[in-house]
């Protein structure tokens, strides 16, 4: 066809075939390799991509699963985002909850020792669990930020009841760290006055009326406890 050479040229048509996507795999790869360093081909491909893209308005948008963005970010941004990825993964923490506290310490050390954030103070971890395992939480306290991060891997309060978290140091009475929110994963800002009390302490979760203990001390059953380990 004479008009083929005149108007588009074989490469012009090939570029259109490439953009459409009709080429067999090997031919497609060969074209893509040429495209890398060929500005004329790149321009042809741009032309077709621009001109055909309005056709995509016929495609119905579809909401992707919420996990995709997290996966992309952890792949692109490495351990910092990766930490957020597994920190928020319930499956990960459930798996860990049945492992030993030693394993927990290893993981927590990794979580705290992020690149560029050399820890200046030791951090603390605890696995807060009941005897039956019906209520289990993983806790990580970062003294640098005063944040106590919690992942509840098992158990939820009954309707009209709340879980309340307590810090018990030495022979002192339990001090409330507050009612746990409904979300499995949460962060509590520890009050200044309590930040020095984690070493050697125990964390506990009790069953309380909605809104928390009316007395300032645990009133319901203590469902889970865990010794705080320094890392």
Partner 1 sequence: MGPRVSAKMNTPEEINELIARVALGDRDAFRRLYRATSAKLFGICLRILRDRGEAEDALQEVYVKIWQNAKSYATDRYSPMSWLIAIARNHAIDRIRAKRPAAADIDDAIDVSDGALDPEQAAVARSESHRIDNCLDELEEMRANAVRGAYLDGYSYLELAERHGVPLNTMRTWLRRSLIKLKECLER
Q: What does the binding site for partner 1 look like in residue numbers (CB under 8 A)?
A: 1, 3-4, 7-8, 12-13, 16-17, 19-26, 28, 42, 46-47, 49-65, 68-69, 71-73, 75-77
Identify which of residues 7 and 100 has a Cβ nearer to partner 1 in the complex. 7
Q: How far is the CB of 106 from partner 1 (least distance, A)?
A: 28
Q: How far is the CB of 72 from partner 1 (least distance, A)?
A: 4
The Cα 35–Cα 45 span in angstroms is 9
Q: How far is the CB of 92 from partner 1 (least distance, A)?
A: 19
In three-state secondary structure terms, 127 is strand
Neighbour-count burial of 7, counting CB atoms closer than 10 A to its CB (0-12 exposed, 13-18 middle, 19+ buried): exposed
Q: On the CB side of 52, how many CA atoms lie within 13 Å of its CA?
A: 13
Identify which of residues 10 and 160 has a Cβ nearer to partner 1 in the complex. 10
Pick from 199, 126, 91, 213: nearest CA to 162: 213
Identify which of residues 48 and 101 has a Cβ nearer to partner 1 in the complex. 48
Identify which of residues 31 and 141 has a Cβ nearer to partner 1 in the complex. 31
Q: How far is the CB of 23 from partner 1 (least distance, A)?
A: 7
Pick from 64, 62, 35: nearest CA to 49: 35
């Amino acid at each position: 066809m004479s008009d083929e050479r005149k108007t588009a040229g074989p490469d012009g048509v090939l570029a259109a075939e490439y953009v459409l996507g009709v080429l067999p795999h090997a031919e497609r790869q060969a074209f893509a390799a040429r495209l890398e360093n060929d500005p004329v081909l790149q321009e042809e491909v741009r032309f077709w991509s621009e001109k055909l893209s309005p056709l995509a308005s016929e495609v119905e948008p579809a909401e992707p699963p919420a996990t995709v963005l997290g996966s992309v970010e952890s792949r692109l941004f490495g351990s910092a985002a990766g930490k957020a990825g597994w920190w928020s993964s319930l499956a990960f923490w459930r798996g860990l909850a049945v492992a030993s506290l030693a394993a927990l310490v290893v993981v927590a050390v990794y979580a705290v020792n992020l690149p560029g954030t050399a820890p200046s103070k030791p951090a603390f971890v605890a696995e807060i669990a009941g005897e039956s395992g019906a209520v289990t939480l993983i806790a990580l306290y970062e003294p640098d930020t005063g944040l106590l991060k919690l992942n509840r891997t098992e158990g939820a309060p009954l309707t009209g009841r709340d879980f309340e978290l307590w810090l018990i140091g030495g022979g002192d009475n339990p001090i409330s760290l507050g009612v746990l929110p409904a979300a499995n994963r949460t962060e509590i800002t520890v009050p200044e006055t309590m930040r020095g009390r984690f070493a050697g302490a125990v964390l506990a979760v009790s069953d309380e009326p909605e809104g928390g203990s009316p007395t300032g001390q645990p009133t319901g059953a203590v469902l889970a406890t865990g010794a705080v380990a320094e890392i």
